[in-house]
Amino acid sequence: MSDYGSLWLGALDLRADYGSYQLEVLADDTTLGSPKSVLTELESFVADGSLAALTGVENRELELMVRISSATKAELAQGEAALVGQCSPLHGRPWRTTFAWTPPDSSVANVFDVTAAWPEHRFDDLSELRFERYYLLTLTCLPFARAQGLTTASLAAPSSSPPTSTTINACTSLTGWSGSATPAGDTSAQLVTNSDFTSNISGWTFSGGTSAWDPLGHAVGTVGSAGYGAWVSSEFAVTAGTQYAYQVHAAAALGNPYYATLVWYNSSHVEVSTGGLVWATGTSSTWQDLSTAVTAPAGAAYARLRVVMPSALSGHVLRLDYGRAFLAVGNAASATPSLVSPSPGIRQQWTRSGLLPGAVTSTVTLALTGLSVNTATEKYVRVRSSLPAVGGTPAALVCRANGAAEAPLTVAATSGDVTWYQVPPSVTSVTSLHFSTTASIGEGGSLGLVVNALTLTNMPTDLSSGGKVAARTIPAAGSVRAPAFFHLQSATPGTGLGTVLLYTRPTLNTAPPNLREGTYSGTGTESADGSAISTKTSVLSSGNVHKFSKPAAGYVPGGHVLFVRVKSTSGAQTLNLSVVSKASVGSTPLTTIVGTSPTVTAKIAATTSWQLVAVAALSLPETPLPAGGWVTIELTGDNANVILDDGLIFNTDEGALTWVECPTTGYGEHLWVDPPTINNPTPAYWVGGAADRSDAYGIAPKSFGTHFATPPTTNAYQVTTNVPASLDEAHYPTALAHVG
C-alpha cells in the first residue's frame, strides 16, 4: 500500500486500526479526481473557431479503494457499518460531510467538502476467505480543496476626522518632471547613409562589375567577368552587445541565389565577422524582402550592410530599392514625458518598434525633482496612476523617495487606480519622487506610465467623509477564489449603520466607484456638505450639467450599474435625470452613448434624508481607447429642489455588490454578510446589536452578490451612511488540490 498520509472521511480515520477491524486505502483504483471546467461560448465575429470563457467549475469525484480487514465476519460487518455511517443517508435530503487528506511529510490538511458519498462493495471469494472486504468509495465533492481553518483580516473603522492632504504636484505642468524609457533607440534614425537611393548611389560601392543609378531611385549593379556582384554600404558605428536589424528590398537575375548580411569591424576598421545571413533566389523583375535582427559581437565598433550575388554570369543584374539598418528595438515616442489631455496627467511612453523577434523587457520611469515636502505628520504618498500596455502585462508601479537608488516605498493600500505609499518614519522630508514599471512587451506593443494625481495624506485613504466611505485591500490566501464572509461593525456603540453598500472585486488597476473622486466639470457648482459621503453636493436644477471624468484605464470593460445619492430640500419631488456616457482622447470626443434608460424619472420621498437610486446600466468603456483615453459620465437634472451627493458606478461583470438598509438604532450596529456555502447554499444577511450574533436576525437585501476572496488580494469598497464602520473578513484558503 502506498503511503497516502492521513485520510479522514468525516469522523472516520480511513487508515486506522479500530481493534476489532482495520481500515486501509489502497493505491489501486484510488484517485482524487479533478474539477470539471464550465466553458461558455462567447458571441464574436471570429470566422474560424470560437471564443470561450471559463465561467465556473463543476464538482470533482474522488474514488478511494478501501479495504476492511478483521478476524471474524461479524467484525467485518462492523467495519462496513462504520464506513456506511459516514456516507450519505437514504433520506433524500441535502447532506454533507468532509474528506480531509494530509499528504505524507506534511502537517497541512486538504479538506474537500463532500455533497454525496457511497461505497460500492467489490466481492471477491478469496478475500472473504482472508477476512477482507473491498469497497470503492465514491465521493462527490465541491471542486477545490480548502484549509481546515479560516483566514481572517480585521480592518479598523476609518477615522471620523476627514483625512488631511497636501498637494505635492498638480500634474498639470511638466516643470520638475523627467522621464526615461528603455531600451533606447529610434528606428526612424537610419544608420546607413543614402539607404533609399533618392537621387544617387553615393555611400555605396559595387564590386565585381559596374554600378549605376536609375531615375526610379534604384541602385543597379551589373556583373562583369568576375562572375559575382556585391553591394556594400558605407560604414556606421555600432555597440557590441546591442541588437541591430536590417531591411533590404532587392531584385536579382532569374534563378540567381543572393544574400544580405551585416559585416562587423573592430575599432581599427578591420573586418572581424559577419552576422544575420538571409538568402533569396532571384526572380528577375520581382522585388524581394530580406530582413533580420542580430547582436553585434564582442569587439565590434563598426558595421556595413552587404548584399551579395556570389555566382552570376556576366551581364546579370542585382538591383537595390533600399538597404536600411537600425537599432532592432526603440522608443518611437519622445524620450521626455508629455502632458495628458485633458489634464491632469504626466505620461512617459515606450513603443516597441523594429524587427527584433520575441518579447523585449522595457522599463519606463518618471521622476519629479526639486521638491521640499514635509512628511513629519503626513506619511502617505497618494498616487493616482495607470499603466497602459499593449502586448504585455506591466509589473506593479514602484515608488521611491529621495533618489532612484533608494528602497521602494511600502504599499499601504490600494483602491482601483489609487495607491498609497508609506514614507518610512525616519524620513521627515521628501525632495524627489521616482516611479517605474517594467514589462515584457511583444512585437508591435507598448508600455506607458501615467501619473494623474500626487498628494500627501495622513492616512491611507482619502475617499471618506467622516469615515463613512472606505476603500480596503484584503490579502487573500490560497490559489483560487474562495467564498468570503464579511462583518461590518459600527464604530459608535448603540448607533446603527444605516444604508450599507459593500462592493468587492479582484484587485485590478481600476478607479474607485464614486464619481466625484474623478475630475468634475460642467455648469453645476460643488458645495461643501459634511452630511454627504463625498463631502460635496451640487443642485440638479435644469440646465446644470454635471460631468465626472476618469481615465478609461480605470474601467474594466463590461457592464456597469450607476446609482445616485440624492435628497429633497422641499417635500416629495419628481426628478427627470438624463445619464450620458462619453469617450474621448485628449479633448476630442469619440462617441456618445446613453444608458439603457437615458432619462430616468425618480420619485424623491417627502423627506430631507439622503436616498440611493439606481438610474442606469452602462457598458464601459463604450469603445476601445488608446492610452490617454477618458470616460465622462454626464448627469443632467430638472429640479432645483433635488441635491446630488455623488454617483456610484459598479462593474457588475467583475465584482459583487450588496446593498442593505440597516436600522440606525443599536439593532443595526452589526451587519454580517455570509456567502453561499455547502451548509447554507444561499447568501444570508444578518443584523444585530451583539458582536457574538446572539440577537442577530435575517434582513432582506435590496441588492446582493456573492463575494469572494480572490488571491493575491481583493478590493473591498464600503459605504455606511450613518456612522464609520470596521470591516472583518474571513475565508478558507482554497486551492486546486493542495492547500499547503
Q: What is the pLDDT of residue 332?
A: 45
- Of 724, 539, 609, which is closest to residue 162 (Cα–Cα)? 724
- Among 30-34, 178-182, 434-438, which stretch is predicted with the lowest mean pLDDT? 178-182
Confidence category of residue 661, pLDDT binned at 50, 70, 90: very high
* 484 has pLDDT over 90: yes
* 343 has pLDDT over 70: no
- Do 242 and 305 form a contact (C-beta atoms < 8 A)? no
- The rounded distance, in Å, linking the Cα atoms of 617 and 619 is 7
The rounded mean pLDDT for the chain is 88
Between 461 and 272, whose confidence is greater? 272
- Among 32-41, 75-84, 175-184, 591-600, which stretch is predicted with the lowest mean pLDDT? 591-600
Q: Give tens-digit pLDDT for 187-232.
A: 556 799 999 999 999 999 999 999 999 998 999 999 999 999 999 9
Average pLDDT of the residues in 619-629:
74
- Of 381, 433, 438, which is closest to residue 166 (Cα–Cα)? 381
Residue 453 amino acid letter: A
Rg of the chain over Cα atoms, rounded to whole angstroms, equals 35
Output the CA–CA distances (angstroms, integers) from residue 227 to 308, 316, 348, 582, 731, in the order listed: 12, 9, 54, 68, 79
Return all residues near 43 (Cβ < 8 A) that are at least 6 apart. Answer: none
Is this prediction's pTM over 0.85?
Answer: no
Kindly report whether the peptide bond that precedes residue 626 is cis, defined as omega within 30 degrees of 0. no
Residue with cell 533566389: 281
The CATH T-level fold of domain 518-647 is Jelly Rolls (2.60.120)
Q: What angle do CA 81, 83, 89 make, to 5 degrees?
A: 80
Q: What is the pLDDT of residue 594?
A: 43
Kindly report whether the peptide bond that precedes residue 344 is cis, defined as omega within 30 degrees of 0. yes
Return all residues near 46 (Cβ < 8 A) that are at least 6 apart. Answer: none
Residue 671 amino acid letter: L
Task: Give the CATH number of domain 6-143.
Answer: 2.40.30
Average pLDDT of the residues in 422-426:
94
Residue with cell 482524487: 32
Output the CA–CA distances (angstroms, integers) from residue 691 to 149, 490, 600, 695, in the order listed: 20, 10, 41, 9
Q: What is the pLDDT of residue 356?
A: 55
Residue 123: phi and psi, rounded to 5, are -70, 140
- The rounded distance, in Å, linking the Cα atoms of 370 and 440 is 32
Q: What is the pLDDT of residue 463?
A: 58
- Do 676 and 483 form a contact (C-beta atoms < 8 A)? yes
Q: Give tens-digit pLDDT for 693-734.
A: 999 999 999 998 999 999 999 989 999 999 999 999 999 999
- Among 31-45, 330-344, 528-542, which stretch is predicted with the lowest mean pLDDT? 330-344
Q: Which helix (H) or strand (E) holds 77?
A: helix 73-85
Q: Give tens-digit pLDDT for 553-569.
A: 778 888 899 999 999 98
| SS3 assignment, position 80 | helix
Query: What letter would DSSP give residue 703?
Result: B
- The rounded distance, in Å, linking the Cα atoms of 322 and 201 is 10
Q: Which helix (H) or strand (E) holds 735?
A: strand 734-735
Query: Which triple of cell numbers denotes residue 324?
Result: 536600411
* 597 has pLDDT over 50: no
* 312 has pLDDT over 90: yes
Q: What is the pLDDT of residue 318?
A: 96
* Partners of 499 in beta bridges: 661
Which residues in 605-712 belong to E strands, given as ranges?
A: 611-620, 629-636, 642-651, 656-661, 670-674, 684-688, 697-698, 708-709
Exposure string of 610-635, with b = 16+ CB inside 10 Å and e = fewer, is bbbebbbebebbbeebebbbbbbbbb
Per cent of the chain over pLDDT 90 is: 56
Task: Give the CATH number of domain 167-175+335-457.
Answer: 2.60.120
Q: Cα torsion at 184, 190, 193, 199 (round to 10°)?
A: -160
Q: What is the pLDDT of residue 452?
A: 86
User: HEC profile for 490-540?
Assistant: ECCCCCCCCEEEEEEEECCCCCCCEHHHCEEEECCCCEECCCCCCCEEEEC
Residue with cell 471542486: 143
Q: Give tens-digit pLDDT for 384-399.
A: 888 888 888 899 899 9
- Do 92 and 127 form a contact (C-beta atoms < 8 A)? no
| Count of all residues that appear for the chain in the document | 740
Q: Cα torsion at 554, 555, 561, 566 (round to 10°)?
A: 20
Task: Give the CATH number of domain 205-327.
Answer: 2.60.120.260
Q: What is the pLDDT of residue 730?
A: 97
- The rounded distance, in Å, linking the Cα atoms of 409 and 406 is 9
Cβ neighbour number for residue 330 with a 10 Å cutoff: 22
Between 386 and 496, whose confidence is greater? 496
Return all residues near 284 (Cβ < 8 A) that are at least 6 apart. Answer: 251, 252, 253, 254
Kindly report whether the peptide bond that precedes residue 460 is cis, defined as omega within 30 degrees of 0. no
Residue with cell 558605407: 234
Q: What is the pLDDT of residue 85?
A: 93
DSSP, residue by residue, 310-351: -S--TT-EEEEEEEEEEESS---S-SS-EE-SSSS-EEEEEE
- Do 495 and 725 form a contact (C-beta atoms < 8 A)? no
Return all residues near 358 (Cβ < 8 A) that are at least 6 apart. Answer: 442, 443
Residue with cell 519606463: 364
Sign of CA dihedral 57, 59, 65, 71: positive
Average pLDDT of the residues in 329-345:
67
| SS3 assignment, position 220 | strand
Cβ neighbour number for residue 674 with a 10 Å cutoff: 18
- Among 209-213, 215-219, 577-581, 650-654, which stretch is predicted with the lowest mean pLDDT? 577-581
Sign of CA dihedral 346, 352, 358, 363: negative
